[in-house]
Amino acid sequence: MLRPINAHHWFDADGNPAGGTTYGEGFAISWQNGPLGRGEDRREPNGAFVESIIAAVMDRIEWYQTTQFACDTNHEALAHLEGALFALERRTLSRDRLDIEGTHERGGE
Q: Please state the separation of Cα 104 from the chain's center in Å.
A: 16
Which own/partner contact pairs does 82-91 have at CB distance under 8 Å and 24+ positions apart? 82/58, 84/54, 85/51, 85/54, 85/55, 85/58, 88/50, 88/51, 88/54, 89/51
Domain ranges of the chain: 1-48, 49-109
User: Tell me, what's the pLDDT at 4?
Assistant: 83
Average pLDDT rounded to a whole number, residues 52-57? 98
pLDDT tens for each residue of 5-51:
999 999 999 999 999 999 999 999 999 999 999 999 999 999 999 99
User: Tell me, what's the pLDDT at 108?
Assistant: 60
pLDDT band at residue 109 using 50, 70 and 90 as cut-offs:
low
Residue 107 has pLDDT above 90, yes or no: no
